Amino acid sequence: MIVSATDVTRRYGTGEATVDALRGVSVAFPPGQFTAIMGPSGSGKSTLMHILAGLDRPTEGSVVIDGTEIVGLDDAALTQLRRDKLGFIFQSFNLLPVLTAEENILLPLSIAGRKPDKAWVDTLIATVGLGDRLTHRPAELSGGQQQRVAVARALASRPAVVFADEPTGNLDSKTSDEVLQLLRRSVDEFGQTIVMVTHDPESAKIADRLLVLSDGLLAEDSAGVAPTPAAGAAPTADAGA
Ligand code: ADP
Protein backbone atom coordinates (compact mmCIF):
# COMPACT_ATOMS: atom_id res chain seq x y z
CA MET A 1 0.00 0.00 0.00
CA ILE A 2 1.30 3.44 -0.88
CA VAL A 3 -0.82 5.27 1.68
CA SER A 4 -2.79 3.87 4.55
CA ALA A 5 -4.81 5.38 7.34
CA THR A 6 -5.84 3.36 10.38
CA ASP A 7 -8.54 4.39 12.85
CA VAL A 8 -8.08 8.05 11.99
CA THR A 9 -10.11 10.60 13.90
CA ARG A 10 -9.96 14.38 13.64
CA ARG A 11 -11.58 16.60 16.20
CA TYR A 12 -11.69 20.36 15.74
CA GLY A 13 -12.22 22.74 18.63
CA THR A 14 -13.09 22.01 22.23
CA GLY A 15 -16.11 22.08 24.49
CA GLU A 16 -19.34 23.10 22.85
CA ALA A 17 -17.54 24.01 19.65
CA THR A 18 -16.19 20.48 19.17
CA VAL A 19 -16.60 19.04 15.69
CA ASP A 20 -15.68 15.42 14.99
CA ALA A 21 -14.78 15.75 11.32
CA LEU A 22 -13.50 12.16 11.12
CA ARG A 23 -14.81 9.55 13.51
CA GLY A 24 -12.61 6.54 12.81
CA VAL A 25 -11.60 5.99 9.19
CA SER A 26 -9.40 3.15 8.01
CA VAL A 27 -8.51 2.99 4.34
CA ALA A 28 -5.52 1.97 2.24
CA PHE A 29 -4.47 2.85 -1.28
CA PRO A 30 -2.51 0.42 -3.44
CA PRO A 31 -0.10 1.74 -6.08
CA GLY A 32 -1.44 2.52 -9.53
CA GLN A 33 -5.04 3.02 -8.43
CA PHE A 34 -7.23 6.04 -9.13
CA THR A 35 -9.56 6.67 -6.19
CA ALA A 36 -12.35 9.23 -6.01
CA ILE A 37 -13.64 10.43 -2.65
CA MET A 38 -17.19 11.74 -2.59
CA GLY A 39 -19.68 12.67 0.09
CA PRO A 40 -21.90 15.54 1.12
CA SER A 41 -20.47 18.89 2.09
CA GLY A 42 -19.09 18.66 5.62
CA SER A 43 -18.71 14.85 5.52
CA GLY A 44 -14.95 15.08 6.07
CA LYS A 45 -13.51 14.75 2.53
CA SER A 46 -11.08 17.65 2.77
CA THR A 47 -10.08 16.70 6.28
CA LEU A 48 -9.34 13.13 5.21
CA MET A 49 -7.38 14.22 2.16
CA HIS A 50 -5.37 16.74 4.17
CA ILE A 51 -4.53 14.08 6.75
CA LEU A 52 -3.60 11.49 4.10
CA ALA A 53 -1.32 14.08 2.50
CA GLY A 54 0.38 15.15 5.71
CA LEU A 55 -1.13 18.64 5.53
CA ASP A 56 -3.03 18.11 8.75
CA ARG A 57 -2.54 15.75 11.67
CA PRO A 58 -5.08 13.26 12.98
CA THR A 59 -6.30 13.55 16.56
CA GLU A 60 -5.89 9.79 16.84
CA GLY A 61 -4.83 7.03 14.51
CA SER A 62 -2.00 6.26 12.15
CA VAL A 63 -1.09 7.38 8.64
CA VAL A 64 1.67 5.68 6.68
CA ILE A 65 2.91 7.23 3.43
CA ASP A 66 5.18 5.04 1.32
CA GLY A 67 6.44 3.17 4.36
CA THR A 68 6.82 6.15 6.71
CA GLU A 69 4.53 6.66 9.71
CA ILE A 70 3.85 10.39 9.55
CA VAL A 71 2.15 10.80 12.89
CA GLY A 72 4.91 12.03 15.15
CA LEU A 73 7.10 13.48 12.39
CA ASP A 74 8.03 17.09 13.06
CA ASP A 75 6.97 19.81 10.62
CA ALA A 76 10.30 19.90 8.80
CA ALA A 77 10.32 16.14 8.23
CA LEU A 78 6.70 16.24 7.12
CA THR A 79 7.41 19.06 4.67
CA GLN A 80 10.31 17.12 3.21
CA LEU A 81 8.23 13.96 2.90
CA ARG A 82 5.48 15.87 1.08
CA ARG A 83 8.05 17.43 -1.24
CA ASP A 84 9.73 14.12 -2.01
CA LYS A 85 6.74 11.82 -2.24
CA LEU A 86 3.56 13.73 -2.99
CA GLY A 87 2.06 15.77 -5.79
CA PHE A 88 -0.84 18.17 -5.39
CA ILE A 89 -3.51 19.48 -7.75
CA PHE A 90 -5.90 22.13 -6.46
CA GLN A 91 -9.21 23.48 -7.66
CA SER A 92 -7.68 26.94 -8.08
CA PHE A 93 -4.61 25.71 -10.06
CA ASN A 94 -2.20 27.52 -7.67
CA LEU A 95 0.34 28.39 -10.36
CA LEU A 96 2.83 31.14 -9.72
CA PRO A 97 1.81 34.06 -11.94
CA VAL A 98 5.31 35.37 -12.59
CA LEU A 99 6.63 32.04 -13.84
CA THR A 100 6.15 30.55 -17.30
CA ALA A 101 4.29 27.28 -17.75
CA GLU A 102 7.58 25.40 -17.99
CA GLU A 103 9.01 27.09 -14.89
CA ASN A 104 5.85 26.26 -12.97
CA ILE A 105 6.13 22.61 -14.00
CA LEU A 106 9.76 22.43 -12.86
CA LEU A 107 9.34 24.46 -9.67
CA PRO A 108 8.80 21.59 -7.20
CA LEU A 109 11.91 19.87 -8.52
CA SER A 110 14.00 23.00 -8.21
CA ILE A 111 12.73 23.63 -4.69
CA ALA A 112 13.71 20.07 -3.81
CA GLY A 113 17.12 20.67 -5.38
CA ARG A 114 16.55 17.87 -7.83
CA LYS A 115 17.58 17.82 -11.46
CA PRO A 116 14.64 17.36 -13.79
CA ASP A 117 14.64 14.11 -15.73
CA LYS A 118 14.53 15.75 -19.16
CA ALA A 119 13.05 12.77 -20.99
CA TRP A 120 10.31 12.45 -18.37
CA VAL A 121 9.50 16.15 -18.39
CA ASP A 122 9.35 16.10 -22.20
CA THR A 123 7.00 13.13 -22.04
CA LEU A 124 4.80 14.95 -19.57
CA ILE A 125 4.69 18.13 -21.59
CA ALA A 126 3.76 16.15 -24.69
CA THR A 127 1.13 14.21 -22.72
CA VAL A 128 -0.51 17.32 -21.35
CA GLY A 129 -0.31 18.94 -24.79
CA LEU A 130 1.46 22.12 -23.77
CA GLY A 131 4.46 22.04 -26.05
CA ASP A 132 3.57 25.35 -27.69
CA ARG A 133 2.62 27.09 -24.43
CA LEU A 134 5.76 26.58 -22.37
CA THR A 135 6.85 30.21 -22.37
CA HIS A 136 3.36 31.51 -21.54
CA ARG A 137 2.52 32.82 -18.11
CA PRO A 138 -0.64 31.51 -16.36
CA ALA A 139 -2.59 34.69 -17.20
CA GLU A 140 -2.04 33.93 -20.88
CA LEU A 141 -3.49 30.43 -20.56
CA SER A 142 -7.09 29.21 -20.36
CA GLY A 143 -8.34 27.55 -17.19
CA GLY A 144 -7.98 24.13 -18.76
CA GLN A 145 -4.44 24.88 -19.90
CA GLN A 146 -3.55 26.15 -16.44
CA GLN A 147 -4.86 22.97 -14.86
CA ARG A 148 -2.89 20.89 -17.37
CA VAL A 149 0.24 22.77 -16.27
CA ALA A 150 -0.71 21.94 -12.68
CA VAL A 151 -1.12 18.26 -13.60
CA ALA A 152 2.31 18.21 -15.24
CA ARG A 153 3.77 19.97 -12.19
CA ALA A 154 2.23 17.36 -9.88
CA LEU A 155 3.64 14.50 -11.95
CA ALA A 156 7.09 15.96 -12.64
CA SER A 157 8.73 14.51 -9.55
CA ARG A 158 7.17 11.07 -10.11
CA PRO A 159 5.44 11.26 -6.73
CA ALA A 160 4.26 8.19 -4.89
CA VAL A 161 0.78 9.71 -4.79
CA VAL A 162 -0.98 12.66 -6.39
CA PHE A 163 -3.71 14.27 -4.29
CA ALA A 164 -6.25 16.22 -6.31
CA ASP A 165 -8.75 18.43 -4.47
CA GLU A 166 -11.74 19.20 -6.71
CA PRO A 167 -9.38 19.48 -9.72
CA THR A 168 -12.21 20.23 -12.13
CA GLY A 169 -14.20 22.49 -9.81
CA ASN A 170 -13.31 25.60 -11.81
CA LEU A 171 -13.57 24.10 -15.28
CA ASP A 172 -16.38 23.71 -17.80
CA SER A 173 -17.47 20.18 -18.63
CA LYS A 174 -15.41 19.77 -21.81
CA THR A 175 -12.24 21.06 -20.16
CA SER A 176 -12.97 19.00 -17.04
CA ASP A 177 -13.12 15.94 -19.20
CA GLU A 178 -9.73 16.72 -20.75
CA VAL A 179 -8.12 17.12 -17.34
CA LEU A 180 -9.74 13.93 -16.02
CA GLN A 181 -8.58 11.99 -19.09
CA LEU A 182 -5.10 13.29 -18.45
CA LEU A 183 -5.20 12.03 -14.87
CA ARG A 184 -6.55 8.71 -16.14
CA ARG A 185 -3.67 8.42 -18.61
CA SER A 186 -1.13 9.07 -15.88
CA VAL A 187 -2.55 6.06 -14.03
CA ASP A 188 -2.81 3.81 -17.08
CA GLU A 189 0.46 4.74 -18.76
CA PHE A 190 2.72 5.74 -15.88
CA GLY A 191 1.24 3.74 -12.99
CA GLN A 192 0.51 6.90 -11.04
CA THR A 193 -1.51 6.59 -7.82
CA ILE A 194 -4.20 9.27 -7.51
CA VAL A 195 -6.59 10.22 -4.74
CA MET A 196 -9.14 12.79 -5.88
CA VAL A 197 -11.84 14.57 -3.90
CA THR A 198 -14.82 15.55 -6.02
CA HIS A 199 -18.47 16.37 -5.51
CA ASP A 200 -19.23 15.60 -9.15
CA PRO A 201 -20.48 12.04 -9.83
CA GLU A 202 -19.50 12.39 -13.51
CA SER A 203 -15.90 13.16 -12.55
CA ALA A 204 -15.84 10.28 -10.09
CA LYS A 205 -16.67 7.81 -12.88
CA ILE A 206 -13.14 8.14 -14.25
CA ALA A 207 -11.75 6.54 -11.08
CA ASP A 208 -11.12 2.86 -10.38
CA ARG A 209 -12.50 3.07 -6.91
CA LEU A 210 -15.06 5.21 -5.16
CA LEU A 211 -15.05 6.04 -1.48
CA VAL A 212 -18.06 7.76 0.01
CA LEU A 213 -17.78 9.61 3.30
CA SER A 214 -20.78 10.34 5.43
CA ASP A 215 -20.64 12.29 8.66
CA GLY A 216 -16.97 11.52 9.27
CA LEU A 217 -17.19 7.82 8.49
CA LEU A 218 -16.45 5.73 5.43
CA ALA A 219 -19.94 4.79 4.29
CA GLU A 220 -19.03 3.07 1.06
CA ASP A 221 -15.96 1.65 -0.63
CA SER A 222 -16.39 0.21 -4.10
CA ALA A 223 -13.22 -1.85 -3.58
CA GLY A 224 -15.26 -3.93 -1.18
CA VAL A 225 -13.01 -3.42 1.80
CA ALA A 226 -15.27 -3.55 4.83
CA PRO A 227 -16.10 0.06 5.67
CA THR A 228 -16.56 1.42 9.12
CA PRO A 229 -20.25 0.96 9.89
CA ALA A 230 -21.91 4.29 9.26
CA ALA A 231 -24.49 5.71 11.58
CA GLY A 232 -27.85 4.44 10.48
CA ALA A 233 -26.37 1.73 8.26
CA ALA A 234 -27.84 -1.74 8.46
CA PRO A 235 -26.01 -3.82 11.03
CA THR A 236 -23.46 -6.11 9.42
CA ALA A 237 -23.50 -9.84 10.01
CA ASP A 238 -21.61 -10.93 13.05
CA ALA A 239 -18.14 -11.88 11.85
CA GLY A 240 -18.34 -15.23 13.58
CA ALA A 241 -16.68 -14.13 16.78
P1 ADP B 1 -15.97 18.27 3.24
O2 ADP B 1 -14.64 18.43 2.60
O3 ADP B 1 -16.58 16.91 3.04
O4 ADP B 1 -16.93 19.36 2.90
P5 ADP B 1 -14.57 18.99 5.67
O6 ADP B 1 -13.53 17.95 5.86
O7 ADP B 1 -14.17 20.29 5.09
O8 ADP B 1 -15.77 18.35 4.84
O9 ADP B 1 -15.27 19.29 7.07
C10 ADP B 1 -15.77 18.27 7.94
C11 ADP B 1 -16.33 18.92 9.20
O12 ADP B 1 -15.27 19.52 9.95
C13 ADP B 1 -17.32 20.02 8.93
O14 ADP B 1 -18.30 19.98 9.92
C15 ADP B 1 -16.50 21.29 9.04
O16 ADP B 1 -17.27 22.38 9.42
C17 ADP B 1 -15.50 20.90 10.11
N18 ADP B 1 -14.21 21.60 9.95
C19 ADP B 1 -13.35 21.51 8.91
N20 ADP B 1 -12.27 22.26 9.10
C21 ADP B 1 -12.43 22.86 10.32
C22 ADP B 1 -11.63 23.75 11.10
N23 ADP B 1 -10.44 24.17 10.69
N24 ADP B 1 -12.13 24.14 12.29
C25 ADP B 1 -13.32 23.70 12.75
N26 ADP B 1 -14.11 22.86 12.07
C27 ADP B 1 -13.68 22.44 10.86
Q: pLDDT tens digit string along 91-103?
A: 889 999 999 999 9
59 CA distance to ligand 1 middle (Å): 14
> H helices then E strands: how many in the chain?
7, 10
Q: 39-48, 123-132, 173-182: which has the highest mean pLDDT?
A: 39-48
Distance from C-alpha of 163 to C-alpha of 49, rounded to nearest angstrom:
7
Answer for the pair 147, 89: CB distance below 8 angstroms, yes or no: yes
3 state SS of 205 = coil
Q: Is pLDDT of 62 > 80?
A: yes
10 Cα nearest atom in ligand 1: 12
Residue 112's pLDDT is 83
Q: Look up the pTM and report it.
A: 0.88
Domains annotated for the chain, with CATH where assigned, are: 3-231 (3.40.50.300)
The percent of residues above 70 in pLDDT, for the chain, comes to: 93
Residue 113's pLDDT is 87
Answer for the pair 224, 218: CB distance below 8 angstroms, yes or no: no
45 lines ligand 1 (CB under 6 A): yes
94 CA distance to ligand 1 middle (Å): 21
59 lines ligand 1 (CB under 6 A): no
Task: Name the H helices within 87-200.
Answer: 101-111, 118-128, 143-155, 173-190
Q: Is pLDDT of 1 > 70?
A: yes
Q: Is pLDDT of 145 > 70?
A: yes
Q: Which of 142, 146, 179, 185 is nearest to 164 (CA)?
A: 179
